[in-house]
Amino acid sequence: MLNIVIFGAPGSGKGTQSERLIDEYGLHHISTGDVLRRHIAEGTELGTVANQYISQGHLIPDDLMISVLEDVLDSNPELTAKGVIFDGFPRTIDQAKSLNTMLEKRGTKVHAVVGLEVNEDDLIKRLLQRGKESGRSDDNLDTIRERLNVYHNQTSPLRDFYVNEGKYHAIDGNSDVDHVFESIKTSLDRKLA
Ligand code: ADP
């Protein structure tokens, strides 16, 4: 069993590479952004709250986000049996500590963290391009800038957290999808060998 965290700034390719990794390693994908967008689309109470943060480019508060993730894990016990790609979670040190506790309780752990490293100009270009098709309320220039600020202030410290745990795999995410995927695979396969 393999649990992977895919980590990186907005627009770094986490969702795209997660799809490839699912096929390659037979994992289940948990994207907290997708979970929240489903709630927004269904008009749930959580969706209403989440939408206020997402449309501003801010993070959903840790307590709420951690309980959302715990619910996803509880309602799908078979997921953690096979292994999961966590995409968009954790985004803060507190979330990372909670993830460790949640997985420990279930007899497992984070095995590896794939960090997609992409330069800032390209991130903005990719997100603006995606905004033309996605219809996402947060893919416009002002919100993108805010999401990148939030990433630098609250999320990027996780890199050192996972480096210290010996789990961080730095991946150059500036090239095309196939190349990036090959780098991830090489790095993970070396670890798993
Ligand atoms: P991206 O990585 O492109 O920003 P996501 O779909 O992962 O997109 O997340 C979209 C938004 O959902 C975030 O900007 C944030 O508002 C909210 N969100 C997703 N995951 C989390 C999380 N773990 N903690 C707090 N907020 C989150």
Which residue's CA is the nearest one to ligand 1's atom 3? Answer: 10
Q: What is the pLDDT of residues 29-80, one digit of tens each?
A: 999 999 999 999 999 999 999 999 999 999 999 999 999 999 999 988 777 7
Residues 23, 127, 176: CA angle, nearest 5 degrees:
45
Show the beta-strand stretches assigned E in the chain. 4-8, 28-31, 84-87, 112-117, 168-172
Q: What is the pLDDT of residues 79-133, one digit of tens each?
A: 777 899 999 999 999 999 999 999 999 899 999 999 999 999 999 999 999 989 8
Residue 193's pLDDT band, with cuts at 50, 70 and 90, is confident
Average pLDDT over every residue of 166-193: 94
Instruction: Mean pLDDT check: name the lowest of 161-165, 167-171, 189-193.
Output: 189-193
- Cβ contact 130:143 at 8 Å: no
91 is catalytic: yes
Residue 49: the pLDDT is 97
Residue 154: the pLDDT is 97
Q: Which amino acid is at 138?
A: D
Has this prediction a pTM greater than 0.85?
yes
Which residue's CA is the nearest one to ligand 1's atom 18? Answer: 33
53 touches ligand 1 (CB under 6 Å): yes
Q: Which of 125, 138, 146 to mutate to test the pocket of ligand 1 (most atoms within 8 A of CB)?
A: 138
